[in-house]
Amino acid sequence: MRRPPVPPPPPTPPNPPFDAHTARRLRTALGMGPEHVAYGMRVSYGLPYITPDHVIAWERGTMAPSSTELVALAGVLWCEPCELKGRPATLREHRAARGLTAEEVARAVGLELLVYVRMEESGEWRGTERQSALLAEALQLSLADFMTLTGLDGKLAGLLRGAVTTRWQAYVRPVSKMVPLNRRLLEGVLQELHRYYQTQLAATATWSDGSAATEASHTGRDFLDRIVEHFWRRVDTGIPHTNTNTR
């Protein structure tokens, strides 16, 4: 008995990718609390339903503002909307960025539509190596994006944290197995990440001033939490950064 064709999902456009870290940083720099941002969006931009809980959820990454909300948020934070847009991070966001339908991507990678849609909904790519290569081609993925979508970011983050907190030389080979980069570039990037963390962050944890030590500890944790982002930023430039702003 033939199965009926699977209907395509409804054409509901996803929210634009949102840079939660930048939104939080800009709000803090302006000395505003979530309640101030919510008030500004309600009064100045006619969005009466916005509450501080919305702002907090956006900054935590548990929700993303709609296009209209993004424009209003940017206005309150005195920035351009593009400054609050992050890079596509999910299958659905990458597909939308390329203007493709779920059916087109499913066909390109050789998956049944329903199977592909379930992967989009779960946010977990489970294709074969061949299908992963076809996905990278169809969505024009960078190496960084490909690793994120295929679930390798967590493992890479663990290796990079080990490299900056212990001996970076011991992690050149394991990282190179995951990331096919020029060895000299990879060594330079790992060495610079290690140098920056050890001289600028790890050392400050021993400061005697309590508030300074707390701030330094927070900065160090933030750096380690975003270690994959710092890694790709240096790889993209082709040269190690000597001055790093972790905020």
3-state DSSP of 131-169: HHHHHHHHCCCCHHHHHHHCCCHHHHHHHHHHHHHCCHH
Per the CB < 8 A criterion, the answer to whether 20 and 61 are in contact is yes
Q: Residue 241 pLDDT more than 60? A: no
Mean pLDDT score of the chain, rounded to an integer? Answer: 83
Angle between helices 34-45 and 52-60 (to 10 degrees): 120
Per the CB < 8 A criterion, the answer to whether 130 and 108 are in contact is no
At 110, is the secondary structure helix, strand, or coil?
A: coil
C-alpha–C-alpha distance, residues 198 and 193, integer Å: 9
20-54 confidence digits (pLDDT tens): 888 999 999 999 999 999 999 999 999 999 999 99
C-alpha–C-alpha distance, residues 185 and 148, integer Å: 21
More confident residue, 14 or 96: 96
Hey, which residues does 30 pair with through a beta bridge? none
104-118 confidence digits (pLDDT tens): 999 999 999 999 999
Per the CB < 8 A criterion, the answer to whether 124 and 151 are in contact is yes
C-alpha–C-alpha distance, residues 49 and 191, integer Å: 49
Per the CB < 8 A criterion, the answer to whether 58 and 23 are in contact is yes
CA R_g for the chain: 21
| pLDDT on residue 148 | 86
Per the CB < 8 A criterion, the answer to whether 25 and 46 are in contact is no
